[in-house]
Amino acid sequence: MNSRQQQKEQRRQLILQTALDLFIRKGYGETKIADIAKAANMSMGLLFHYFESKEKLYEALIRIGSEKLKMELNFGTASPLTTFQYIAEDIFQTIRANPFAAKMFVLMENAQHLDTLPADIKEMLVEADKLITKSISLIEEGQRLNEIRDGNPQALAIAFWNSLQGIAQHIALHPEVPCPEAEWIIAILKK
């Protein structure tokens, strides 16, 4: 990548990060494109060169978050409980190392409550629910192996994923707080 392309990508990332910060602090409706341009220290014309509207910028962020949610829950020969351990460790490592990732949890949660989003963006948000659904069979397998506690598999999946969601959101809004250990979250599932 040449230096001009690198500069364009850096500006694009700056716009995304700036918009993400404003969207999670002020909300989608209260954030104006002028606010984003000002916070990114660029003209609105330059910002429009990268994103044609606030909606397209928001959509780009939702697309990034949705892609991350398309994770596979298959870790080869790992047991179901070990798979959940890997997931929790990976998410915690990511949000510790990258504040953008933690903030994406806030954005994705907030976006699910917006009635004004276009249908295609709402469809992208369905990926979060798919993670819970995909987890159910893994939890059932762990219960059969006697490594995951008894209980409703869907309720256990909800408890696991929403614990991760809540922790990521808290860290996004309070980056100075310590991140819990993954094993504490695994205790929700462990028999």
**Domains of the chain by residue range:** 1-52, 58-186
Give the pLDDT score at 171.
Answer: 94
Residue 40, classed as helix, strand or coil, is: coil
DSSP string of 110-148, one letter each residue: HHTT-TTS-HHHHHHTTHHHHHHHHHHHHHHHHHHTT-B
Instruction: Look at residue 75 and tell me whether its pLDDT is greater than 70.
Output: no
Q: Which residues pair with 148 in a beta bridge?
A: 190
- The model's pLDDT over 127-140, given as tens digits with 9 standing for 90+, comes to 667 888 889 999 99
Query: Of all residues in the chain, what percent carry a pLDDT higher than 70?
Result: 98
Q: Six-digit token pair at 186?
A: 């695994």
The arrangement of secondary structure in 1-52, i.e. its CATH architecture, is Orthogonal Bundle (1.10)
Q: Which residues pair with 182 in a beta bridge?
A: none
Number of C-beta neighbours around residue 181 at 10 A: 12
pTM value? Answer: 0.84
Homologous superfamily, domain 58-186: Tetracycline Repressor, domain 2 (1.10.357.10)
Q: Six-digit token pair at 126?
A: 């369905």
Question: Which residue type occupies 64?
Answer: I
